[in-house]
Amino acid sequence: MSGTARNFFTLAIIYSLLGMMLGLSMAMSHDHAQMPTHAHIMVLGWLMSAIFAFFYHLVPVAGRSILAKVHFWLAAVSTVGMFVGLFVLYGGNPAIEPVLGVASLGYFAATFIFAFVALSALWRTSAKVPVEQGAVR
Ligand code: HEM
Ligand code: HEM
C-alpha cells in the first residue's frame, strides 16, 4: 500500500485509536454524552478512511490523480474540524455549530470528489480489462 491509499489507512488507524479511547472513557465514566462524537470518529474516521484506502489500493490509477490527493487532504482537514467540533458541541458549547457546518460541507465535498475520481477510474478500467485480457468485445 502506498500514496493516497497509505495516507488514508494511516488516518484510519489514528482515528480507530482515538475513537476507541473516547468510547472507553465514555464506558468507564458512565457518561455517554459524547456518543455522536465517538460514533462519527469510528465510522467516518476509521471505517470510511479504511474503505477509501482499500479502494485506492485496489484501483491504483485512481490514487495517482491530483483529485485523489485533494480528496485526502480535504477529508483529513474536515474530519479534524468535525471531530473537534462535535467534541466541543457535545461538551455543551453550541456556539461551535458554524465550524461543524463548514467541516461537514467540506467532508461532503471531499466525498463528492471521491465519487468523481472513483467512478471515472472504474469505468475507464473496466472498459480496458477485457481488451488487456484479450477478450473479444
Ligand atoms: C474499545 C472499544 C469501544 C468502546 C469501549 C465503545 C463504547 C461505546 C459506548 C459507551 C457507546 C454509547 C452507547 C450508548 O450510549 O447507547 C458507543 C456507541 C457507538 N459506538 Fe462504540 N465503542 C467501541 C468501539 C467501537 C467501534 C470499533 C465502532 C465502529 C467501528 C463503534 C461504533 C459505535 C457507534 C456507531 C455507536 C453509536 C450507536 C448508536 O447510535 O446507538 N464503537 N460505543
Ligand atoms: C457530512 C457528514 C455527516 C454529518 C453532517 C452527519 C450528521 C449526523 C447527525 C446530525 C446525526 C444525529 C446525531 C444525534 O442524534 O445526536 C448523525 C448520526 C449518525 N451518523 Fe452521521 N453524519 C455525517 C456522516 C456520517 C457517515 C459518513 C456515517 C457512516 C459512515 C455516519 C454515521 C452515523 C451514525 C451511525 C449515527 C448514529 C449515531 C449517533 O446517534 O450519534 N454519519 N449524523
12-49 confidence digits (pLDDT tens): 999 999 999 999 999 999 999 999 999 999 999 999 99
51-88 tens-digit pLDDT: 999 999 999 999 989 999 999 999 999 999 999 999 99
38 lines ligand 1 (CB under 6 A): yes
- Residue 135: the pLDDT is 40
Is pLDDT above 70 for 128?
Answer: no
- Residue 14: the pLDDT is 98
Ligand 1 geometric centre to CA of 136 (Å):
50
Rounded CA-CA distance 93/126 in Å is 49
Ligand 2 geometric centre to CA of 79 (Å):
12
Rounded CA-CA distance 7/1 in Å is 9
Closest ligand 1 atom number to CA of residue 24: 5
- Residue 124: the pLDDT is 81
Is pLDDT above 50 for 131?
Answer: no
Buried b or exposed e, range 18-31, using 16+ CB within 10 angstroms: bbeebbeebeeeee
Cell of 26: 465514555
104 lines ligand 2 (CB under 6 A): yes
Closest ligand 1 atom number to CA of residue 36: 37
Q: Which ligand is nearest to the CA of 17?
A: 1
- Residue 76: the pLDDT is 98
Residue with cell 484479450: 134
- Residue 133: the pLDDT is 46
What Rg do the C-alpha atoms of the chain give, in angstroms? Answer: 18
Which residues 6+ apart lie within 8 Å of 94 measured at CB? none
Q: Which of 28, 30, 42 to mutate to test the pocket of ligand 1 (most atoms within 8 A of CB)?
A: 42
Give domain limits for the chain: 3-132
Rounded CA-CA distance 80/15 in Å is 10
